Every structure is written in structure tokens, then in C-alpha cells.
Copies of this chain bind each other. A is one copy, B any other.
Amino acid sequence: MRTVQVELGDRSYPIYIGPSLLPETGSYLEKHGLTKKSTHLIVTDEQVAARHLDTLKQSLESQGYTAVVSIVKSGETSKSLAVYEEVMTTAIQGGLDRSSAVLALGGGVVGDLAGFVAATYMRGVKFVQIPTTILAHDSSVGGKVAVNHRLAKNMIGAFHQPELVLYDMDTLQTLPAREVSAGLAEMVKHGLIRDAEFAGWCRDHASELLSLDREALAYGLERGCSIKANVVSADEREGGLRAILNLGHTIGHAIEAVGGYGEFLHGEAISIGMAGSAMLAVKLGRDASIYPETVSMLKALKLPVVLPEHLPTDELIAAMKHDKKFTEGTMVFIVPDRIGEVSIVKDIPEALVREVIEELRRKEPEHV
């Protein structure tokens, strides 16, 4: 088993990565001091519940824990205030108190939703992440939790760190290919922003990663979590540095908002966004190789790099202006300086962003 420690002072916590962890959840909760006197809440989605809920429940019961369960629909549409209220109702009716914990069993959607419930139920209770997707290696580090407003993604949320993260590799084995790729988008992103060698490793081991080879996956998740943990430790509440984690997210979030949250997986949208950021970098005078190199890495992981025709530029720009990175009237982008290093660039002219969007829509360049 591998352990990544996220260092955040008295909010520090470990991420356990390994096989056969889910059936041991009860023991881990005990190890981390969660009370058996209070009822806990499991939040999961329909697909994950069908595969893993019984294992989790049995593990809790065997250690003397009691829990109520809230099963939400699979997909981004569950990150709504309406679903949030339903989960709150289950928590209240289940009698959760201030010593209770909310356990998120699932991917990023479940983690974000359950985390926001944990952050705000009785002004905050304990939170445990049990990610079942590769994408969730990203959202399980750093304590960002949120639901969507119909006008913009992740607009309503909090910072709320988990007590522990249990990353059972076995739960990843049933992921559909599209979700595997989408998850690897965040993994390679961590290389692109801080570790050129790791970005190269992701490309070179793309076939192992795509076929869910346990060794490659365990290393990739550990490395991805570690890079993110370092950034978050330095800037928990996104005063500055942490924003670099948003590489590809300005355009990516706009694609999700305009396409509707169902059309693109988050990882697919930010893959197109990262291609766009790389193109922007070249337009801003960075080395011309950044764009084709970035695109080749993304394509190796079977990720999209071209913007679909049916998303109007004006709507994408309007959505970007609702983005949280749009501050004090200027457009902010995370721009690669080279592979493995990025800058936060403010005051990007809107015309340049339009140019990038238009070019992203064309067939990919010949030289890629």
C-alpha cells in the first residue's frame, strides 16, 4: 500500500492507495477515531451503489458502525442544490449529529456533493472520501467541495478537508474506457503544471494506464496526488499558487456549462481546455512546441483536443465571465511556460481568447 500525506497543519490527512481497502473501511474509521455512538451517512450514486455499497456497509457493520445511505443519480446533474437538500434530509432523518461523518463513496460528483454536505451539515462534520474513479484522485486532495448553480459550475461550495481518503484500486477495474481517459486528464495535468518528467511518464505508459495496469495506476495516482498535495499545502485556500491547478479549467468549465453538464465528462472538457491553454501560450510568445507536445500527450491518453462545432463562441465567452477565475473585471488563464511549468496570467484580452476558441474548433493541425 502507498500513503500520500497531505500536509495542512491540524487539517492534515492521509490518502491510502492500494488494493482491497474498501472491505477494511470500518477498521480505518476506527483507526482514525470516528465514534461508533453516532450514526454516519454514506453518499453514493446508483452505479457505484450497485457495485460497492454492500461491501462498504458490511465493513462498517462488522466494526460496529451504523450508517444511513443516500443514493443519488449518477452524473453531474446530482451536484445541484435540490439533491443537496435531499441528502441533508436523509442526514437529519437519520439522526446524524456533530460527531457523525459523511462518507463519499464514488467519483468526483459524489465527493463534491457529499463534501459540501459535510462542510455545512450542522456547520461542519467529519468527511471521509472513498473515491471509485481515477478522476477523483484530483478532487480527493485539497478539500474543494461544491455543488453547481444552474448558471455556473462549482459556484456554491466550501473548503472542507477529509479525515482520510481510502483509494481502493480494485474499485477502478470496472471503469468504462471513456471514464478512464477522462480521469487520466487530471493525472497528466499534474505533470504538465509541475513535473515534466511525470507528464512524459504518463505519455510513455499510456497503454498500461488505459488498460488499468495496477502497478502503473498506483504509481500514477500516488504521483498525481503528491503533486497536488504539495500545491495545496502551500496554498490551501487558493490565495495564489493553488490556481495553477486550474490549467485547462477556464475553457473546460465553459465547455461543460454550454454543452450542458451531461455532454462532456469533466476530464474531456479540461483536456480540450489544456489544448487551448497550450495554444494560448504559443500565441503569447512561449515556445511553439508547447502546443503539439501537449496535444500529443493528451491524444496518447485517448483524450479529445478539438472543440466541437456546436458550442457557440459567444456562449463560451459568456460562461467564462461567470467563472470564479474571472476577478475584478479581468480574464485570468493558467498558461504553460513550458511542459511542467505554468504561470497565472491576468488581463488576457478577450479577442485573443476568441481566437483560441475559433482555432480549437478546426480539425487538429497537420503537424500534431
Contact = CB atoms under 8 A, between A and B. Distances in A.
Interface string A74-95: 0000000100110011001101
Given A156-B120, A156-B121, A159-B124, A37 B92 contact: no
Nearest to A321: B95
A92 B155 contact: yes
Interface stretch (A145-153, A181-189, A283-291): A145-153
Contacts of A38: 327-329
B123 A92 contact: no
A149 B122 CA distance: 11
Contacts of A322: 92, 95
B97 A328 contact: yes
B81 A159 contact: no
A144 interface: yes
Given A97-B324, A97-B326, A157 B123 contact: yes
A354 interface: no
B151 A92 contact: yes
Given A81-B81, A146-B123, A88 B328 contact: no
A221 interface: no
A73 interface: no
Contacts of A178: none
A55 B93 CA distance: 44
A155 B85 CA distance: 11
A328 to B, nearest CB: 4
A158 interface: yes
A119 interface: yes
Contacts of A88: 149, 155-156
A94 to B, nearest CB: 11
A174 interface: no
A58 interface: no
Contacts of A63: none
A85 B99 CA distance: 28
A326 B92 CA distance: 12
Contact of A144 (B119, B123, B324): B123
A327 B99 CA distance: 7
Given A95-B321, A328-B35, A89 B123 contact: no
Nearest to A36: B328
Contacts of A327: 38, 97-99
A147 to B, nearest CB: 9
A155 B158 CA distance: 16
A15 B37 CA distance: 40
A278 B93 CA distance: 30
A123 B321 contact: no
Nearest to A84: B81
Contacts of A120: 120, 156-158
A321 B120 CA distance: 19
Contact of A151 (B93, B97, B156): B93
A121 B327 CA distance: 14
6 contacts: A38-B328, A81-B84, A89-B151, A123-B238, A124-B159, A124-B237
Interface of A: 35, 37-38, 81, 84-85, 88-89, 92-93, 95, 97-99, 119-124, 144, 146, 149, 151-152, 155-159, 237-238, 321-322, 324, 326-329
Which 10 A-B pairs rank lowest in CB-CB distance, beginning with the nearest?
A: A37-B328, A123-B157, A122-B324, A97-B327, A92-B151, A38-B328, A120-B156, A81-B85, A99-B328, A98-B327
